[in-house]
Amino acid sequence: MFKKEWPKHSILAIAIVATWFKTYTIYKTSFSIPIDNPLQELILFLSPLSLLLFFYGLSLFLKSAKNKNLYLFIATLLTSVVLYANVVFYRFFTDFITLPVLFQTDNFGDLGASTAASIYITDVFYFVDVIALVLAIKFIRINSPDTESSVVQRKVYFILSAAVLFLNLGLAETERPQLLTRSFDREMLVKNLGMYNYHLYDLFIQSRSQVQRTFAESSDLVEVNNYIRSNQIAPSAEMSGIAEGKNLIIVALESMQSFPINNEMNGQTITPFLNELTEDEDTIYFPNFYHQTGLGKTSDSEFLLETSLYPRSGGAVFFTHSGNTFNSMAEKLGSKGYSTSVQHANTKSFWNRDMMYDSLSIDEFLDLDSFTVEKGQAVNWGLKDIPFFEQSVANMTEMQEPFYSRLITLTNHYPFTLDEEDKMIDAFDSNSGTLNRYFQTVRYLDEAVKSLFEELKENGLYENSVIVMYGDHYGISENHNEAMAQYMGKEITPYESAKLQRVPFFVHIPGSGKGGINEEIGGQIDMRPTILSLMGIDTSTDLQFGDDLFSEEREEFVIFRDGRFVTDQYVFAENICYENGTAEEVDKQLCAPYIEQALTELQYSESIIAGDLLRFYDKENGELLPGD
Ligand code: GP9
Ligand code: MN
């Protein structure tokens, strides 16, 4: 058919180009991957190339043409199967495959049935590169096919492949900083690394977790258990059970720090509604409450809330350990007859929530697909908080009571942009646009919370519900210290920086008359024990690191994920021991016992997660189980 002779590596080149172009076409036609700018499109286009160059290029090490062709055939078939499997999976689950999904046995029923229904005859297109390769092998005449490539040629080739990989990673890093360390969204990983690299990355993350899990033993839990039991305190007798049987609504206030509360910016009130709540007779407000999140940001705060364990120091636990056994707050409430749900108007794969919520035994995840976004209702990351709350409450009216529904807000998220009509106060006037806009989005969030309370009242849900609200993590990072110093009117030292990690924690129990400002120093790790105690649910045999914030026996001590801590006497930050209150530097020896305890506690929590140790523990009675 082709008379002329083709250059030596034509078959390899054809295989690479065919799979590369096919993959890009499939990205554009079979997945809905949003592209916001030309750079993202370029990254998406380039993304399959590095792996293909490398993987197909290994054929250069084979001697005979026959072996080379066979290898290329198997390689193209393999990449096609991987891609096609994702297409089929996506048709049903609008998500990309991650290894745990294949091993979570309860997914199999779903998978089998849905796969069969999602396969069509036209799907041969997904193998078009394999077909092209077979035809090329059959009809193309190669000059001197058996000549081996020289060592130098191979070196140059693989250096070039590596260059393509680094170009890809470099572009991805500019577009999505911290993509690999935080690994926050599968969709972004696929979009920036390409499907094939994404699977290798997933394989790496999952197998690393798997290895640690395999080597863990039930006896590893003994020491952790002893530590927890010896530090355990009794919940507050006064508050315990006061909200028993009520619905529980928990609101995550995106990027909400405590400093705007009961504060002004250029004479303007920033949070009028939240300020009112701090004086409300049914609301307890904790001004000395800290976030304890790490790289996993919002998801870490959810993890702290549900498990009362610390999130991980490297990477988001929602991604790395979604297959673990947990004893979540949702599961506890579920076992008491509560229906449990999370409502959040974002794609379900963000922070791997769709997988993790199964492990946390959350019955229902109302994600972006459960919300309608009318024209003008979206800004920044998506649906605005006011229409989000309106629809969330409408969803609650359909829920079986008592329910536990957790709402995750979104508008007050970096880069803090708003539509003109939603700006209720002026921007600040510092050199940081981020901080300047932050006040306006915080003001919007405050308005949204007010609307939530009104919606609940209008729909008859208010009286019989407890409303808990917490700030998930900081919104203003240390990059904006100069602007923050201008706002606060003082230098942002490590001491101040630690104090800025305070986020609001509100507990609103209608009709309770228990309101007031509670100065107790605590953190997100204390939410689970505090809330479950209010709900009248016993946690005395649970493995958790937090305590009931209302308990009289509590020692004031909050450990940040990065090892900083705050007690009633000291603040430890950047290796400096400060006196809490005066902000004076004191002898580090005074902080020493707490430094030790903070590290121990973080380490114990880490070992529970890495070893999946809660599988060796009986949730019913707190007894340690023999290994499997
Ligand atoms: C994403 C939202 C924001 O769904 O929760 O996550 P963050 O960037 O704040 O961790
Ligand atoms: Mn967040």
Q: Both 194 and 258 in a single domain?
A: no
Q: Is 222 part of any domain?
A: no
Ligand 1 closest atom vs CA 350? 4
What is the extent of the structural domain holding 197? 5-212
Return the SS3 of 574.
Answer: coil
| Cβ proximity of 171 and 43 under 8 Å | yes
CA distance 369 to 389: 15
Question: To which residue do tokens 């702290």 refer?
Answer: 304
pLDDT confidence bin for 359, thresholds 50/70/90: very high
What pTM, to 2 d.p., does this model score? 0.86
Ligand 1 closest atom vs CA 298? 10
Burial level of 347, CB count in 10 A (0-12/13-18/19+)? buried
**d(CA 125, ligand 1 centre) in Å:** 37
pLDDT, greater one: 336 or 102: 336
Q: Both 351 and 287 in a single domain?
A: yes
β partners of residue 571: 566, 578
Tell me, what's the pLDDT at 105?
A: 46
Nearest CA to ligand 1 atom 6: 298
Segment 31-52 shows an average pLDDT of: 93
Q: Both 201 and 245 in a single domain?
A: no
Q: Both 146 and 242 in a single domain?
A: no
**d(CA 318, ligand 1 centre) in Å:** 12
**d(CA 297, ligand 2 centre) in Å:** 6
Burial level of 501, CB count in 10 A (0-12/13-18/19+)? buried
pLDDT in tens, 215-250: 899 999 999 999 999 999 999 999 999 999 999 999
Q: Both 124 and 166 in a single domain?
A: yes
Segment 571-588 shows an average pLDDT of: 96
Nearest CA to ligand 1 atom 5: 298
Residue 613 per-residue DSSP state: G
Alpha helix stretches (DSSP H) within 433-536: 433-458, 481-488, 494-499, 527-534
Q: Which segments of 310-385 are extended strands (E)?
A: 339-343, 364-366, 378-379, 382-383
| Cβ proximity of 524 and 292 under 8 Å | yes
Backbone angles phi, psi at 378, to 5 degrees: -115, 145
Residue 342 per-residue DSSP state: E
Tell me, what's the pLDDT at 463?
A: 97
Ligand 1 closest atom vs CA 252? 5
Q: Write down the mean pLDDT value for the chain.
A: 93
**d(CA 298, ligand 2 centre) in Å:** 4
Residue 178 in this model has a pLDDT that exceeds 80: no
CA distance 101 to 104: 5
Q: Which helix (H) or strand (E) holds 56?
A: helix 49-57
Tell me, what's the pLDDT at 295?
A: 85
Ligand 1 closest atom vs CA 347? 4
Segment 288-303 shows an average pLDDT of: 95
Q: Is 298 a catalytic residue?
A: yes
Backbone angles phi, psi at 538, to 5 degrees: -75, 130
Residue 167 in this model has a pLDDT that exceeds 50: yes
| Cβ proximity of 448 and 411 under 8 Å | yes
β partners of residue 567: 557
pLDDT confidence bin for 103, thresholds 50/70/90: low
Q: Which helix (H) or strand (E) holds 274?
A: helix 272-278
Q: Both 251 and 371 in a single domain?
A: yes
| Cβ proximity of 509 and 241 under 8 Å | no
Enumerate residues 6+ apart whose C-beta is below 8 A from 411.
254, 379, 380, 381, 384, 385, 418, 441, 444, 445, 448
Nearest ligand to the CA atom of 291: 2
Q: Both 132 and 85 in a single domain?
A: yes
Query: Which segment of 96-100, 327-331, 530-534, 568-572 scores lowest on mean pLDDT?
Result: 96-100
Q: Which segments of 93-246 are extended strands (E)?
A: 141-142
For helices 10-30 and 195-215, give the axis angle rounded to 10 degrees: 80
- Which of 250, 295, 299, 470 to probe ligand 1 with, by most ligand atoms within 8 A of CB? 299
- Which of 176, 350, 365, 366 to probe ligand 1 with, by most ligand atoms within 8 A of CB? 350
Q: Is 402 part of any domain?
A: yes
Q: Both 346 and 478 in a single domain?
A: yes
Q: Both 266 and 195 in a single domain?
A: no
Residue 117 in this model has a pLDDT that exceeds 80: no
**CATH assignment at residue 308:** 3.40.720.10
Q: Is 490 part of any domain?
A: yes
Tell me, what's the pLDDT at 552?
A: 94
Nearest CA to ligand 1 atom 7: 298
Nearest CA to ligand 1 atom 9: 298
Q: Both 196 and 261 in a single domain?
A: no
Burial letters for 348-369: b for 16+ Cβ neighbours within 10 Å, e otherwise? bbbbbbbbbbbbbbbbbbbbee
pLDDT confidence bin for 188, thresholds 50/70/90: confident
Ligand 1 closest atom vs CA 472? 9
Q: Both 38 and 110 in a single domain?
A: yes
Residue 269 in this model has a pLDDT that exceeds 60: yes
Q: Is 14 part of any domain?
A: yes
Burial letters for 240-260: b for 16+ Cβ neighbours within 10 Å, e otherwise? bebbeebbbbbbbbbbbbbbb
Q: Both 531 and 437 in a single domain?
A: yes
Q: Is 221 part of any domain?
A: no
Nearest CA to ligand 1 atom 3: 298
- List all residues whose CB is within 6 A of at least one atom of ligand 1: 297-298, 346, 350, 408, 413
Nearest ligand to the CA atom of 297: 1
**d(CA 315, ligand 1 centre) in Å:** 14
pLDDT confidence bin for 175, thresholds 50/70/90: confident
Give the Å distances, CA to CA, from 279 to 274, 289, 463, 579: 9, 17, 19, 29
pLDDT in tens, 365-405: 999 999 999 999 999 989 999 999 999 999 999 999 999 99
Query: Which segment of 175-179, 436-440, 620-624 scores lowest on mean pLDDT?
Result: 175-179
Nearest ligand to the CA atom of 382: 1
Ligand 1 closest atom vs CA 344? 4
Q: Is 263 part of any domain?
A: yes
Q: Which of 298, 409, 411, 441 is catalytic?
A: 298
DSSP-derived pairing of the beta strands 522-523 and 289-290: parallel
Nearest ligand to the CA atom of 344: 1
Q: Is 619 part of any domain?
A: no
pLDDT in tens, 581-612: 999 999 999 999 999 999 999 999 999 999 99
Q: Which of 507, 522, 551 is the last residue of a domain?
A: 551
Question: To which residue do tokens 């250069």 refer?
Answer: 60
Tell me, what's the pLDDT at 208?
A: 84
Tell me, what's the pLDDT at 598?
A: 95
pLDDT in tens, 47-57: 999 999 999 99
Tell me, what's the pLDDT at 180?
A: 75
Q: Which of 551, 578, 609 is the last residue of a domain?
A: 551
CA distance 218 to 616: 5
Fill in the amino acid letter for 457. K
**d(CA 532, ligand 1 centre) in Å:** 25
Q: Which of 551, 576, 602 is the last residue of a domain?
A: 551
Segment 488-510 shows an average pLDDT of: 97
- Please count the structural domains in the chain: 2
Q: Is 519 part of any domain?
A: yes
**d(CA 312, ligand 1 centre) in Å:** 17
pLDDT confidence bin for 90, thresholds 50/70/90: confident
